[in-house]
Amino acid sequence: MRALIYSLSRSSLVAKEAELLSKLGVAEAQYRSVVALVEQRNELHLVFQARLQAANAATGMSEGTLEDVRGVAGKMLGRQLEDLTNELYRTTEHAIGFNRDVYVAAVSSFKRLFPKSSMFGVQDLPLSKSDAA
């Protein structure tokens, strides 16, 4: 990727497009990180649910407070699930903001480089947050 960015920055692309390629790589990495977090959290949640179900079957407990549920499923596992969920929210929020900015830059660059073409033949997403509302 770095070699491609370097060669493109030396060719007909201006510095903005070379920087955009770099940001696209970061955006992809952030996307993959969010997907990995979702998968990891889902796996942990399945373990949590299995433990909870087994404990409920053994004790007959069907309701309780959050602390009761954590105690039955395992306090450490409950804490890991909570921490991972919080990290997922934080990471996702950041990735969405960054990727939206990269999208806006990509559309702007495409329109500047190819003013008579529609991007990928699909309708563009709104370029600003107020357009999306």
**What are the pLDDT digits (tens) for 12-66?**
566 777 888 889 999 999 999 999 999 999 999 998 888 878 877 777 766 666 6
- Mean residue pLDDT of the chain comes to 78
Residue ranges per domain, the chain?
24-114
CA–CA–CA angle 77, 51, 60 (5° rounding)? 130
Instruction: Label residue 20 exposed, middle or buried (CB < 10 Å: 0-12, 13-18, 19+).
Output: buried
Query: Are the CB atoms for 73 and 52 separated by under 8 Å?
Result: yes
CA dist 115 to 47, 66, 110, 112, 128, Å?
A: 52, 56, 7, 6, 19
Locus of tokens 């999208």: 103
pTM: predicted TM-score of the whole model, two decimal places: 0.67
CA angle 119, 121, 125 (to 5 degrees): 60
Please say whether the beta carbons of 23 and 102 come within 8 A. Answer: yes
Spatial neighbors of 104 by CB under 8 A, at least 6 apart, are: 127, 128
